[in-house]
Structure 1
């Protein structure tokens, strides 16, 4: 790290409130492999490792808790959690949440279908009279949310939606591209489930910190350190370890309440 950058980082950390540096941050998230999830009770994933390393460099200890997405959002808003992983920036949340300026990754929602029940989908209007599997508390962008003529059926989990797809209970499902590919591989469905080329929406997602004294400075320090870490081989190594694709930064999904989108 250049000397001037190291000095600026030290000065910035010195400005953080004692509470921000002395406490253990409680971060919440839903399971969303390969970005953040539990394996044998232990947290894993791309965003988990990146965030943990950035906070380690900042001298901030982190405690992780996995909960349903709607509950994650409620806990941050009520001040019961210090932050939430992988979230969109919205005006409605700025009253109680602070975002680092550097995003964790980008969201890219796509559709999946069973190979034996193909549909020609090149635009949202082609979904007419079909049933699309969604996940509770997730939002897929204004175009998808406002489109009409097709049914949305929420499943209890992302894995359950793939099961419903194979049983013919839904015609398609919508999820993040990398998450869909990961689950398809994990469930042994690579030859039975196809990814469609239509991109439903793209957005950047961030770490969201509960708005408390010193959190603006902590968010800035996190963003600065995250930018530096993204330039290091260690960052690429994390991606390769989970998805074996060093040519692209991770595309992730934002798990958010539909009602918060304006």
Structure 2
């Protein structure tokens, strides 16, 4: 009997030790997140330092969870592809679009809310009511963005001529030089970039939004390490809810000039 017990210990102890070491190794690795580059006030670099609403919220959430986090600022399309193939654990920030559920898990609550509008040169305003208002115009968008179904269908059918670039700053330059008739982008982020570039009042938003104010979420890649870790997801959502309820979200918004 004693020999059988010793044999079982010899068999199972290495297995248990291996599982324990694997879990410890996973916990010691950084939670790797990608965010869209150069999108103030959400993510941007100032004097060589990463900062922004999304950046600060994710950093604080990781601190409260007791985990290490690494956040890289990359072009939108690279982040999108990395979430599809699991090259990163998470990404920020995404509107909840049903089709994306095939490759990402949406984390609640949203980390901020945004609307998307049409921007034009001052004096060239027109009434926007639907994507049909953009037919025949040269429209700048950020590469990889999907605004809404009607807009996407108009692009696919050739009714809207889009020009894609990696960030809003490039589209601003193209509007200034007359290479675009308009662009569609995040209202708050674009207004801040225009102000920083001394272009406030020269490039202006149209009143009616392309996308009404909606929540944008931190997401997890379904091909990544944490997609099946219900404990991790539960802890992350719990921490974000607490941060929203205790005023941390609002304090961070105010720090960057948002109401």
Same fold flag (TM > 0.5): yes
Q: Which has the higher contact order (CA 8 A, sep 6+)?
A: 1
Q: Which has the larger radius of gyration?
A: 2
Q: Indicate if the aligned counterparts of 1:20 and 1:218 stay in contact, CA closer than 8 A.
A: no
Counterpart for residue 26 of structure 1:
32
Counterpart for residue 190 of structure 2:
180
CA distance in 1, matches of 2:54, 2:161: 32
User: CA distance change for structure 1 residues 101 and 120 in 2, over 3 Å: closer, same or farther?
Assistant: closer
User: CA distance change for structure 1 residues 18 and 208 in 2, over 3 Å: closer, same or farther?
Assistant: farther
Q: Indicate if the aligned counterparts of 1:29 and 1:67 stay in contact, CA closer than 8 A.
A: yes
Could you tell me how far 1:111 is from its partner in structure 2? 0.7
Runs of 4+ in 1 over 6 A off after TM superposition: none
CA distance in 2, matches of 1:193, 1:95: 37
User: CA distance change for structure 1 residues 97 and 234 in 2, over 3 Å: closer, same or farther?
Assistant: closer
Say which of 155, 161, 168 aligns to 1:158. 168
CA distance in 2, matches of 1:204, 1:190: 26
TM-score in terms of structure 1 length: 0.79
Say which of 208, 217, 223 aligns to 1:206. 217
Gaps of 5+ in 2: 1-22
CA distance in 1, matches of 2:85, 2:118: 34
Q: CA RMSD in A?
A: 2.1
User: CA distance change for structure 1 residues 153 and 108 in 2, over 3 Å: closer, same or farther?
Assistant: same
Gaps of 5+ in 1: 1-16, 247-262
After TM superposition, the structure 1 stretch with the greater mean CA deviation from structure 2, 71-80 or 161-170, is 71-80
TM-score in terms of structure 2 length: 0.80
Say which of 162, 184, 206 aligns to 1:196. 206
Counterpart for residue 110 of structure 1:
117
Counterpart for residue 144 of structure 2:
137
CA distance in 2, matches of 1:118, 1:93: 34
User: CA distance change for structure 1 residues 95 and 167 in 2, over 3 Å: closer, same or farther?
Assistant: closer
Could you tell me how far 1:197 is from its partner in structure 2? 1.0
CA distance in 1, matches of 2:103, 2:159: 36
After TM superposition, the structure 1 stretch with the greater mean CA deviation from structure 2, 80-89 or 93-102, is 93-102
Counterpart for residue 104 of structure 2:
97
User: CA distance change for structure 1 residues 182 and 207 in 2, over 3 Å: closer, same or farther?
Assistant: same
Could you tell me how far 1:222 is from its partner in structure 2? 1.3
CA distance in 1, matches of 2:215, 2:252: 19
- Aligned-partner SS, 2:207: strand
CA distance in 2, matches of 1:92, 1:194: 32
Counterpart for residue 255 of structure 2:
241
Could you tell me how far 1:180 is from its partner in structure 2? 1.5
